[in-house]
Amino acid sequence: MADLNAWNDIVSKLESGENIEWIIFGNWGGSGSEPESGAYCEPNPPPVPVEKRGIILDAGEAESFMHGWSFFGGFGTAKCYAVRIWTNRRIFWVTQYDGSTRLSSTRRHPENHMPSMPGG
C-alpha cells in the first residue's frame, strides 16, 4: 500500500491553471459524522489523525496525510477517506458505488460547461 498516493490522484484530475486550496477529511470509508479512528481496513496508524478530521486544512498541510492510500478503489468496503477538496475552479468529493470509489467534482462558480452525470 506504500506506493498509493491520494495527493497524486487529485493532482492528476486538475485542469491547466487549477490548484488545490483547501481540504477537509472525513472518516475512513465515509463512516460516521463524528471523527473516529479504526474503521474497517483503515491503515494503522491512520494517515489522517482523528484531530485533523472535520477541519479545513490548507493544501500544504493536507498533502502530508495523503500518502499510502488512494481515492480509487475496487468493490467492497471503501478504502479511502471521505473528503471535500476546493480548488480555485472546482469542488471534489468521493463518489462510491458498492465500495468502488472515485473522485467527482462540480464547478465552484457558475460558468458555461457541459454537465456530466456521475454514477454506475
Instruction: Indicate the pTM of the whole model.
Output: 0.89
Q: Tell me the three cell numbers of residue 72.
A: 480509487
Angle at 90 between CA 119 and CA 9, to 5 degrees: 65
CA-CA distance, 27 to 41, in Å (whole number)? 12
Higher pLDDT, 99 or 43: 43
Residue 117 is assigned to a structural domain of this protein: no
Residue 15 is assigned to a structural domain of this protein: yes
Residue 116 is assigned to a structural domain of this protein: no
Write out pLDDT tens, residues 72-92: 988 877 889 999 999 999 999
- Please state, as a whole number, how many other Cβ atoms lie within 10 Å of the Cβ of residue 95: 15
Percent of the chain at pLDDT > 90 equals 67
Question: How many folded domains does the chain comprise?
Answer: 1
Residue 65 is assigned to a structural domain of this protein: yes
Write out pLDDT tens, residues 31-52: 888 888 888 889 999 999 999 9
Residue 26 is assigned to a structural domain of this protein: yes
DSSP bridge pairs for 32: none
Cα-based distances in Å from 78 to 10, 28, 87, 97, 110: 17, 8, 24, 9, 31
Residue 34 is assigned to a structural domain of this protein: yes
Q: What is the pLDDT of residue 120?
A: 57
Q: Which domain holds residue 94?
A: 6-107
Torsion 86-30-7-15 (CA) sign: negative
Contact assessment for residue 22 and residue 59, using Cβ atoms and an 8 Å cutoff: yes
Residue 114 is assigned to a structural domain of this protein: no
Residue 120 is assigned to a structural domain of this protein: no
